[in-house]
Amino acid sequence: MYLAEFLTVALIHLLAVASPGPDFAVVVRESVAHGRKAGTWAALGVGSAIFLHVGYSLLGIGIIVSQSIVLFNALKWAAAAYLLYIGIKALRAKPAAATDDAAIKAAPGERTARGAYISGFVTNGLNPKATLFFLSLFTVVINPHTPLLVQGGYGVYLAVATAAWFCLVARLFSQARVRAGFARMGHWFDRAMGGVLIALGIKLALTEVH
């Protein structure tokens, strides 16, 4: 009965999640710099944050945020500040002393699962564009008469699909050949990713409610 609606939601989500943005940049950086485990944990963090967006969309909190300039700006500036923070950290990367294959692998304890997970969760959870996306999804695309349980099911799918997509991204960018290629760039890769994250942070800071 709700198959057509679900397929519409799934298609819109696929187009959105496949578009490069802060989530993609963070997962790629974690995967290349620290390996598959870190990239996967970052992907799971991004996926987990979807439950946050789905939750406040179902509770109607998303509407309050979108209508309140103060709340929206607070969320926006927090997200922008976080992206700028990790971007500046990446820009300050220094040349590594080792250049052999061992240097490609992250040193033990260099990146914890918790740290990678938090980076993914915070990046997605604080993104006001994600707030507006899920708000429009649950108020415009999904029929308001659709049972709450069914809408919750959509939310579970969105979270799982997001995590699965970024786990694939992590798997791709943590391949030995891929990491070796980026390793040849040395600290310039970190600096390039830092520039991307800073640009995304600035773009986010300029986002306005329409």
128 pLDDT higher than 50:
yes
Query: Assign residue 100 a region: left if phi > 0, alpha if psi is -120 to 50, beta otherwise?
Result: beta
Q: Are 190 and 94 in contact (CB under 8 A)?
A: no
pLDDT of residue 138: 86
* Rg of the chain on CA atoms, in Å: 18
pLDDT of residue 66: 64
Q: Where are the domains of the chain?
A: 24-93+113-205
192 pLDDT higher than 50:
yes
Please give the model's pTM, rounded to 2 decimal places: 0.77
Q: Tokens 């976080």 belong to which residue?
A: 82
| pLDDT band for position 181 (cuts 50, 70, 90) | confident
Give the model confidence (pLDDT) of 30-44 as tens digits: 999 899 999 999 999
| pLDDT band for position 193 (cuts 50, 70, 90) | confident
Q: How much is the mean pLDDT over the chain?
A: 84
pLDDT of residue 173: 93
Give the model confidence (pLDDT) of 132-143 as tens digits: 888 888 888 888
193-202 core/surface letters (b: 16 or more CB in 10 A; e: else): bbebbbebbe
Choose between 179 and 157: higher pLDDT.
Answer: 157
pLDDT of residue 195: 85
Choose between 187 and 85: higher pLDDT.
Answer: 85
99 pLDDT higher than 50:
no
CA distance 89 to 74: 23
97 pLDDT higher than 70:
no
